[in-house]
Amino acid sequence: MTEKDSKLPDMEQRDPRNLNEHVKVQFDEVLGETAGVRSIDCVWRNSACCFNCALSCCYKALTTLCGLPLAFCWGCEFACLACYHVWYYTPFIKCCTIQLLAARTLIRLCLDTFIGTVCESCALCFSRIVVKSG
């Protein structure tokens, strides 16, 4: 298989990562009659046939009209998202990390000096307390 062939979509398994497993579109997953209420058998059988035919035809019509434009739009959306992350978000976060390192060091020093000393003194005082039961 060439590199070009590996980029082509699998025409048999079109959702190999189960991205749309939550979409239930089988007749028996959408419609069901209880034991107490039943339609005539030919109505139920033909309803399943109509459901599947309408689903297939409508889906094919919608994807024919909207599939390519939506794929183009989503491709642009994810290209923009990747561009923002590569060229804006990641460098901005790195810049903030570098800029705030001095403030982090100063705050940690102040906390260790003042609050750490108080906490350590309280711990020494309370460590001598013995609780006796009964």
Residues (pLDDT < 50) of the chain are: none
- pTM here is 0.60
Largest CA distance in the chain: 86
Looking at residue 69, what is its pLDDT?
97
- For 85-113, what is each residue's pLDDT tens digit? 999 999 999 999 999 999 999 999 999 99
**Nearest Cα residue to 59 out of 8, 14, 7, 10:** 14
Residue ranges of the domains in the chain? Answer: 16-126
- Could you write out the DSSP letters of every residue in 18-53? -TTTT---SHHHH----SSS---HHHHHHHHHHHHH
